[in-house]
Structure 1
Amino acid sequence: MIGLLTILLTACGDRLTATNLPTSETSNLPVVQGRISEVAPPALIQELRPSLERYAPQVTILSPLAEEVFDDTQVIVKLQVSDLPIFQDDTLKLGSHLSLIVDNEPAAAIYDLKQPIILENLAPGTHTLRVFALRPWQESFKNDGAFAETTFHILTKTGKNAPDHNLPLLTYSSPQGIYGAEPILLDFYLSNAPLRLSNTANGDNNLQDWRIRVTVNGESFLLDTWEPIYLKGFAKGNNWVQLEFIDGQGNKVENEFNTSVRVISFDPSYQDGLSQLVRGDLSPTIARSIVDPNYQTIPSLEEETPFIEPETSIVEEENPVVEETPVIELESPIVEENPVIEPESPVIEPESPIVEENPVIEPESPIVEEKPVETETVEKLEETPEAIESPLTTIPETKEINEPAPGIQPPLEVEPIPEPQNNSEQKITIFDRVQQTVNRFQSPSSPAEKDIELPTLDPQLFSNVERS
């Protein structure tokens, strides 16, 4: 049975009673006098503590069973907890958990009961497993049912590590491990401890006047209440802490595990979640996530507000992108580049003089004059139509050039259109000149020449020229 102990409402400093009763276990350890003192709990822990007062955890060891004997050095542990959420905050790595102790070894923290718990390389003989519930800052729950223990055996039974359930049992809880801030919690769990009665009631029973003797680095003091305290004055580096259960006469109550000692380390630069919590580096909003596993959604809503602000700035950045429409205005002068077609119209004008080069046929007519033989002239005259074919080839080219000009339709300057009329006039002059050349060789005085039939020019050739 776990006895309920009275809590004395005294000042923090009054609870530490100095004692000069060293034990044989601590007589060879260094002693530091006057450095350790009790202080109030950290403010943030005092603010969070009421959130867990509504819980009364019930811890059960499902395996191993009491007095069970195993034929192997490996044991699988199964635990069950009710009325307390067991979890670990992802950021601070803190949360309500279980403390598991095998014999009197340092405790192991259990944050997930779904994960297998395996004890390996256990020595043959008797072993005792103790499990109890802790708050996130390593303070134990002290309600009835928050502590469970069982004794089992590996291969065989021995008398060691088997506490007497008829005697009070002291279980060391804190401090242990590494700490980065002061004050440091001192906490323990008591089993089978009798109620503290008045001095007149059953005064002969020394166990009713029990105390806990605490020794830190050789400096000892007594506690007569079962409640956690916070201490400061630890030295940097390693420190040692010892707890002893003693009776009203100052004698140790002999039972397994009633004397426990731990070595801890104090490093002010250590930055774990507990150190931040003790120093007050955390806001209450963030710290509340270690007492309520469902409270993680509230900080996420607060974190969303800064994300809305940059989104507005992003919309403002998009406005200058809309103002880039002037780029379209820059493209409009590109459409005005159509006047580039206008310089092409004068290109057609220099081509018209190319048609005027038709007078090149004129040097051919003197060639006929140089030859007095009439037969040869006839041959030359017959060849003249071939020479006349040259304007047939050139004149259509000029017309093909003039045809695209109306399609472009520049300003109404269509002066090159009358050029074909000039060409037609040039064709008539050419006919007249040829006719004049033929007439030169006609002589009425010679009768022989009258019998000669001169070839006549086919006017259709010239009409074809006009049609083209």
Structure 2
Amino acid sequence: MRSHPIPSLCLSLLILIITWGLIGCSDRLEASQPLTETIPEPVITSKLAEVAPPAVIEELSLTLDQYQPQVKIISPKTEQVFSETTVAVQLEVQDYPLFKDSDLGLGPHLHLILDNNPYQAVYSVDEPVILEDLTPGTHTLRVFASRPWHESFKNDGAYAQTTFHILTKTGDNAPAPNLPLLTYSRPKGKYGEQPIMLDFYLTNAPLHLVAQESSDDQVTDWRIRATINGESFLIDTWQPIYLNGFEEGNNWVHLEFIDEQGNRVDNAFNNTVRVITYEPNGQDTLSKIVRGELSSQIARSIVDANYTPPISSPSTDEENLTLETKSETEETTTQAPPTELPLSSETVPTVETEPVSQEKTTLSSPEISPSPEETAITNAPNIEVDPEEPAKIPDTQLNPQSLELPVQKTPETEPEFLVNETISPVVEPESTPIYPKTTPKSLSQEGIPSPREEQPIRLEEETSTELETSSNKKPQWLENTLNSLKQVIDFEKLFQAINN
């Protein structure tokens, strides 16, 4: 069979032409994509992460949104030449009150930057800022309004710039006025908490919408390339960003102004590097605000000079409550009345005034008011007597007196004792007094048993037996009188004569 090479060759050529056309179309489509699609969006690396601003800062920022700061440099004048190395900088600001809160150490201020050095915070324009030991040559001052947490205002008029010379002009530190200019602001210095704000100021940078309208115009788009500890990402918006992921200790931050092709735009200060320090758990005001330890009510004094923060705090209220409770407890303890203890078996027995009958009579003592050094008599016995006949009591009223007895002292307290009086009705005694008017003898002489002795005492005939208690014993003068009468009068003969 004969082959047909011509149709096979034609088919191969057709396939090759179609494939070549597809490849060519693919190249043209990729090349026609706009620049905004080829430039990658800002990317945060694995260690760094963009987060939302702290809640307290967002709330305080609303108070400052009412201002549109207008900043001017009064001196030095543009292109002014000084014959000395010291320059006085006079600033002026309108529609933005500058102050520094004395307690928190923050407030609305200005960022004053000499050449490309870190900024100097200015909280008052009443006095000039003195710059000393300036090197000979050209220098540039930049100044813009800043919020208390060092975020720059970005409205028209919030930024001012001037170039001057010391002794002579040089080409250093002189940015081109027709080129975009990047002014590095934050981060700077030391930080005690994350997230950390990254912020900058732009001059002569076109708007993204204008730069992206046409790829054939002369307006070039821009980006900010940020590199932190060697990790880079792009920023295409002129807004501050808050970042987590800084390492403890020193960190370095590099900002560059680049065009739409990714090339650096050369101007005096468009390439800046700073070294910052991060130490966690900082106790400065900004660190506390970022952590949320300072509420907006307390921190509001850094945005409003006329604001008075609340005086008391929850911890202070708790301390005051503790002190008040302690004071009330001490006052209650001091004013507590003495404890009244009933006296039962520990009382001195007294004689009831009712006639003595065959029934047993319980003797009790009248109320005794102990001196401050005396306490209750312990273990005093209860005396029960069985008299044969009523005792005749002489018509004599005696005032009972307290006995000085050896007692056992009770520490600290001096209780008042209540004695159950059983004297009803009150009658004048006619015979043996309970307590004589004279100073009582000691317990051993009077025959009163010791409080620790429990000896029963019985009442015998009044003519022959003497009671063993001091309360029932006859006085000596009565016994002497009876004995004298017995010697003088023969009672037996007298009774016989009376009977006859």
Tell me what 1:258 maps to. Answer: 270
What is the TM-score of this pair, normalised by structure 1?
0.59
1:256 deviation in Å? 0.9
SS of the counterpart of 2:62?
A: helix
Alignment of 1:54-453 (within 5 A): 54-197=66-209, 201-205=213-217, 207-295=219-307, 297-300=308-311
Paired positions, count: 303
> Aligned residues: percent identity?
59
The one-character-per-residue Cα deviations of 1:304-341 (angstroms, maximum 9, x if unpaired) are x95997997899799789979x9xxxxxx9xxxxxxxx
In structure 2, runs of 5+ residues without a counterpart are 1-39, 339-371, 373-500
| Structure with more relative contact order (C-alpha pairs < 8 Å, separation 6 or more) | 1
Tell me what 1:26 maps to. Answer: none
Q: CA RMSD in A?
A: 3.1
1:140 deviation in Å? 0.4
| Alpha-carbon distance in structure 2 between the residues aligned to 1:221 and 1:267 | 24
Letter in 2 for 1:281: E
Give the stretch that moved more between structures: 84-93 or 103-112.
84-93
Give the stretch that moved more between structures: 82-91 or 69-78.
82-91
| Alpha-carbon distance in structure 1 between the residues aligned to 2:210 and 2:83 | 50
| Alpha-carbon distance in structure 2 between the residues aligned to 1:198 and 1:116 | 40
- Asked whether the 8 Å contact 1:168–1:193 carries over to 2, the reply is yes
SS of the counterpart of 1:100?
A: strand
Tell me what 1:17 maps to. Answer: 43
- Given the superposition, is the C-alpha separation of residues 242 and 235 from structure 1 closer, same or farther in structure 2, using an over 3 Å criterion? same
- Asked whether the 8 Å contact 1:195–1:208 carries over to 2, the reply is no
1:60 deviation in Å? 0.9
The one-character-per-residue Cα deviations of 1:178-235 (angstroms, maximum 9, x if unpaired) are 0111110000000111122267633234653111111111111111111110111111
Letter in 2 for 1:16: P
- Asked whether the 8 Å contact 2:56–2:289 carries over to 1, the reply is yes
Structure number with the higher helix fraction is 1
SS of the counterpart of 1:171?
A: strand
- Give yes or no for the alignment of 1:47 onto 2:22: no
- Asked whether the 8 Å contact 2:301–2:309 carries over to 1, the reply is no
SS of the counterpart of 2:126?
A: coil
Tell me what 1:5 maps to. Answer: none
- Asked whether the 8 Å contact 2:91–2:128 carries over to 1, the reply is no
| Alpha-carbon distance in structure 2 between the residues aligned to 1:253 and 1:52 | 33
| Alpha-carbon distance in structure 2 between the residues aligned to 1:82 and 1:224 | 30
| Alpha-carbon distance in structure 2 between the residues aligned to 1:205 and 1:136 | 40
1:253 deviation in Å? 1.1
| Alpha-carbon distance in structure 1 between the residues aligned to 2:288 and 2:218 | 43
The one-character-per-residue Cα deviations of 1:128-163 (angstroms, maximum 9, x if unpaired) are 000111111111000001111110100011111111
